[in-house]
Amino acid sequence: MKFASYTVEGRASYGVVTDDSVIDVGTRLGPDFRDLKALITAGVTGLDVDAPPDFGIDDVTFLRPILTPEKVVCIGVNYANRNEEYRDGSDAPKYPSVFMRTAESLTGHDRPILRPPESEQLDYEGEIAIVIGEPGRRIAIEDAEEHIFGLTIMNEGSLRDWVRHGKFNVTPGKNFARSGGLGPWIVTADEFAGYDDLTVTTRVNGEQRQHDSTANLMFPFRYLISYLSTFMTLTPGDIIATGTPLGAGARVDPPKYLVPGDVVEVEVSGIGTLRNRVEDEK
């Protein structure tokens, strides 16, 4: 099942996406389930997906699937060949690199991502993102996948000069408003036979820049959930971005940063394609 959040006819709602139409679940369930995060938190199942569609998919404006996640946790350098891309002679990491994003830094599918006036080094990072369903702390690796509500897609946009402002601090360059994208929807966990061979591909203006498989992750989804839950409680609607393949614009010689008018597409097998056009922030 595909769940999306959106605005339509001047109001915000959420629903189930079926082919080229949308069933408006938010209206049917009413104010007790004000958004998709509330639905996930309540563990609602048995939705009537055979209901007639309410809107065409082109009638809605997509928002972040989870409007107000409590946490957006990001993992850096998780694909094995990306660690080699740094050419620093370092061994494979023993533990994941972890940083946080704000919800404000992400926008929805088919909405513009913004290049701020403070930097011309806006870069793309196509990623698979986990959406947590069941809460948990100190989750065992063998139980970790049971805590996944579903998967979505992230363009983890980064301002490369701003990630280098401090010796170990990437936070500023990862959190400019609407510098990344999330969506278009969440595909629920029951739609996946497993998570160890999903592909992620990033294209800029139709040109493939990134492509890899989760078979090459140094820290697979189940490990990330277990590791993160060691020091934080994972709650429904939390988002975990699982890392980007090699091929980011900063690693090209010369670098290929995003400019206004560029269209970034991130495609993930079993989910679909997240698309955003780049604009200068006004």
Instruction: Indicate whether 133 belongs to any domain.
Output: yes
* Per-residue pLDDT tens over the stretch 192-226: 999 999 999 999 999 999 999 999 999 999 999 99
Instruction: Indicate whether 188 belongs to any domain.
Output: yes
Clarify whether residues 35 and 143 are in a common domain: no
* Residue 87: band (very low, low, confident or very high) from pLDDT cuts 50, 70, 90: low
Clarify whether residues 50 and 126 are in a common domain: no
* Residue 73: band (very low, low, confident or very high) from pLDDT cuts 50, 70, 90: very high
Instruction: Indicate whether 67 belongs to any domain.
Output: no
Clarify whether residues 25 and 151 are in a common domain: no
* Per-residue pLDDT tens over the stretch 120-129: 999 999 999 9
Cross-strand bridge partners of residue 229: none
Clarify whether residues 50 and 110 are in a common domain: no
Clarify whether residues 152 and 49 are in a common domain: no
* Domain, as residue range, for 34: 2-62
Clarify whether residues 234 and 145 are in a common domain: yes
Clarify whether residues 211 and 260 are in a common domain: yes
Strands (E), the chain: 2-8, 11-18, 21-23, 55-56, 61-62, 72-76, 97-101, 106-107, 113-115, 122-123, 126-132, 148-155, 158-159, 180-188, 199-204, 207-213, 239-241, 263-268, 272-280
Model pLDDT, residue 134 = 97
| Number of domains observed in the structure of the chain | 2
Is the pLDDT at 86 greater than 60? The verdict is no
Instruction: Indicate whether 17 belongs to any domain.
Output: yes
Clarify whether residues 58 and 88 are in a common domain: no
Clarify whether residues 58 and 76 are in a common domain: no
Model pLDDT, residue 194 = 96
Query: How far from 30 is each of 8, 26, 57, 175, CA to CA, in Å?
Result: 16, 6, 21, 33
Clarify whether residues 57 and 76 are in a common domain: no
Tokens at 107, concatenated = 């926008």
Clarify whether residues 100 and 197 are in a common domain: yes
Clarify whether residues 147 and 170 are in a common domain: yes
pTM of the model: 0.96
Instruction: Indicate whether 242 belongs to any domain.
Output: yes
Instruction: Indicate whether 122 belongs to any domain.
Output: yes
Residue carrying the six token digits 């938010």: 26
* Residue 49: band (very low, low, confident or very high) from pLDDT cuts 50, 70, 90: confident
Q: To 5 degrees, how large is the angle CA 166–CA 121–CA 80?
A: 75
Instruction: Considering only the C-alpha atoms of the chain, give the largest distance between any 2 of them, rounded to a whole number of Å.
Output: 57
